[in-house]
């Protein structure tokens, strides 16, 4: 037998968490054809992995590349840190299902991630067809967003659904699952997800569960109400009998630091008889649309309605006051220190100079109050401004990341510098999350072993999503492979200079095709939209 590729002299870390072993890997077409001593086996191509780790391609379980992949399929920030599968559609907001009545508002809600390109689809299936036809470097495992489903059924209104609307949400969820979604995500801090009750999520999640999908949730509050919010996610999982993935778990805001000990205890307890995991990215800052700081009542009706309220001189003072003090039914956010909120993307040309600055610093330069500056920016940018917010304790990240229920996710998206996705001053996680876990948490801080870290990036997310023959390196499995140097792999992207690729990843193989070859990206992009195992 002649192999297409033999990777030799490396240490195989197979994705199961088992100790690494010296084994060669033989690849034929898109599969792992043999593991063992293949020194004498004929091969069209031999890769010398001396001193390197051979592992399954990394699976990014929390990713927002839905539109980024259509816009620029090279996905360089991801592929260059070893990611071969991106789980898209997180946090409740997906570009499908959609219809003309809500298209503009849904686009505005996804702003910062949608690059102003047209959306020539309505149903989730039509969106996947467009994604299938687009050349892309990595595979995609898509989730459907509860927010998009709800917006389709009843718009962005602030109320509970009628029976008919609920039925239409169940139908849209079933359609998306049948079209190829791996589950449903929710974003319970974003309109319209924030207007729903727990029962609605249980109800729709039952449909998702029947189709073998997972429920991934950006929970109702990651700041003051973080404990109740984790309880709600666990309740939905229990009552709908659906595997749950708590998204980018954290306790936001100084006053909430340490609460992850309580939430983790709840998660670990539930995990004894439920499929419960959470994902985490290795940074103490998050990132979101700047309008997250605007109270929920002002979001009712969608992005256009919110912008109109911000422009309304009668409503503006109340919004301003609520941003500072919160509202009776809204304490989801933390006490805002404008020094901790950096402007990641500023859309309007004349405000572009603020990109990379904190709101505090930009306000000082302009001689304006930071609250007014932030609200003005949201209006002037048409709700396209994004922020990086420094809200987490390092001790919390260090506590959550090594636990057995954690999975590594970036919460970022594919960025290729020089193209339309390369604009702005994004969070560095899109470039560095996976390399950073190995560099910092394995090599420097020794909080987990390399085998454990790789398991959290490969075998564990693959099992959660029931990916067909991916996430482990075994004979017969698909040949998604990363070869990296454990002594030199590192993230280079920083909050100051985010557009920098990770280092130390020598080869990335996608379905048997060498997509990254010692720093050179192949012009053949072979990533696929993966099909759920049913």
Footprint of Zn ion on this chain (CB under 5 A)?
91, 218
Give the span between the Cα atoms of 298 and 219, in whole angstroms.
Answer: 20
Number of CB atoms found within 10 A of residue 510's CB: 28
CB 64, min distance to Zn ion, A = 8
CB 38, min distance to Zn ion, A = 43
How would you classify the pairing of strands 285-289 and 276-280?
Answer: unpaired
Structure tokens at 8: 């030799």
CA 376 remoteness from chain centre: 28
Helix (H, G, I), strand (E, B) or coil at 513: strand
* Of 57 and 112, CB closest to Zn ion: 112
* Of 281 and 441, CB closest to Zn ion: 281
Give the span between the Cα atoms of 186 and 205, in whole angstroms.
Answer: 10
CB 248, min distance to Zn ion, A = 6
* Of 80 and 150, CB closest to Zn ion: 150
Structure tokens at 208: 């998702």
* Of 218 and 250, CB closest to Zn ion: 218
Q: Does residue 435 come out as left (phi exceeding 0), alpha (psi in the -120 to 50 range) or beta?
A: alpha
Q: Which of 530, 422, 529, 531 is nearest to 135 (CA)?
A: 529
* Of 94 and 452, CB closest to Zn ion: 94
* Of 91 and 237, CB closest to Zn ion: 91
The DSSP-derived string for 326-356 is -BTTB--SPPP-GGGEEEEE--SGGGGGGTT
Do 507 and 81 form a contact (C-beta atoms < 8 A)?
no
CB 411, min distance to Zn ion, A = 6
Q: Does residue 396 come out as left (phi exceeding 0), alpha (psi in the -120 to 50 range) or beta?
A: alpha
Number of CB atoms found within 10 A of residue 128's CB: 21
CB 286, min distance to Zn ion, A = 8
Give the span between the Cα atoms of 225 and 219, in whole angstroms.
Answer: 10
Give the span between the Cα atoms of 429 and 282, in whole angstroms.
Answer: 8
CB 299, min distance to Zn ion, A = 16
CB 132, min distance to Zn ion, A = 25
* Of 80 and 218, CB closest to Zn ion: 218
Structure tokens at 397: 């990240």
CB 127, min distance to Zn ion, A = 20
97 preceded by cis ω (within 30°)?
yes
* Of 218 and 440, CB closest to Zn ion: 218
Do 373 and 289 form a contact (C-beta atoms < 8 A)?
no
Q: Which of 375, 363, 360 is nearest to 323 (CA)?
A: 375
* Of 47 and 407, CB closest to Zn ion: 407
């Amino acid at each position: 037998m002649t192999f297409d590729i033999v990777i030799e002299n490396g240490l195989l870390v197979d994705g199961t968490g088992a100790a690494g072993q010296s084994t060669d890997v033989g690849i034929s077409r898109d599969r792992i054809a043999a593991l063992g001593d293949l020194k004498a086996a004929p091969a069209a191509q031999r890769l010398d992995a001396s001193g390197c780790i051979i592992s399954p391609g990394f699976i990014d379980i929390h990713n927002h590349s839905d539109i980024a992949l259509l816009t620029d399929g090279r996905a360089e920030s991801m592929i260059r840190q070893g990611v071969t599968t991106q789980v898209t559609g997180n946090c409740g907001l997906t570009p499908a299902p959609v219809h003309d009545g809500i298209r503009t508002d849904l686009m505005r809600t996804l702003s910062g991630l949608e690059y102003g390109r047209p959306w020539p689809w309505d149903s989730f299936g039509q969106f996947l067809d467009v994604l299938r036809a687009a050349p892309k470097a990595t595979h995609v495992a898509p989730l459907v967003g509860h927010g998009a489903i709800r917006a389709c059924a009843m718009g962005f209104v602030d109320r509970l659904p009628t029976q008919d609307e609920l039925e239409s949400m169940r139908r849209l969820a079933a359609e998306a699952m049948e079209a190829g979604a791996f589950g449903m995500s929710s974003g319970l801090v974003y309109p319209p997800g924030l207007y729903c009750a727990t029962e609605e999520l249980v109800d729709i999640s039952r449909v998702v569960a029947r189709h073998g999908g997972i429920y991934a949730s950006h929970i109702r509050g990651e700041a003051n109400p973080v404990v109740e919010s984790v309880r709600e996610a666990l309740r939905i999982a229990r009552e709908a009998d659906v595997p749950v993935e708590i998204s980018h778990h954290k306790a936001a805001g100084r006053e909430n630091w340490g609460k992850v000990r309580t939430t983790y205890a709840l998660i670990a307890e539930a995990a004894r008889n439920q499929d419960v995991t959470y994902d985490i990215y290795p940074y103490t800052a998050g990132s979101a649309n700047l309008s997250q700081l605007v109270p929920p009542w002002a979001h009712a009706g969608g992005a256009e309605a919110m912008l109109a309220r911000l422009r309304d001189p009668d409503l503006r003072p109340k919004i301003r006051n609520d941003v500072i003090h919160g509202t009776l039914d809204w304490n989801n956010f933390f006490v805002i220190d404008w020094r901790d909120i950096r402007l990641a993307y500023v859309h309007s040309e004349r405000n572009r100079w603020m990109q990379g600055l904190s709101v505090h610093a930009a306000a000082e330069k302009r001689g304006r109050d930071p609250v007014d500056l932030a609200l003005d920016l949201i209006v002037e940018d048409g709700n396209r401004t994004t922020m990086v917010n420094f809200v987490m304790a390092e001790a919390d990240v260090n506590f959550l990341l090594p636990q057995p229920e954690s999975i590594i996710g970036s919460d970022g998206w594919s960025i290729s510098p020089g193209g339309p996705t390369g604009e702005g001053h994004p969070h560095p996680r899109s470039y560095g999350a996976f390399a950073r876990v190995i560099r910092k948490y394995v090599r420097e801080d020794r909080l987990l072993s390399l085998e454990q870290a790789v398991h959290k990036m490969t075998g564990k997310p693959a099992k959660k999503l029931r990916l067909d023959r991916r996430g482990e390196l075994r004979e017969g499995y698909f040949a998604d492979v990363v070869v990296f140097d454990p002594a030199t792999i590192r993230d280079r992207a920083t909050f100051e200079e985010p557009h920098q690729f990770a280092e130390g990843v020598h080869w990335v193989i996608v379905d048997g095709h060498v997509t990254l070859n010692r720093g050179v990206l192949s012009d053949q992009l072979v990533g696929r939209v993966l099909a759920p195992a049913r």
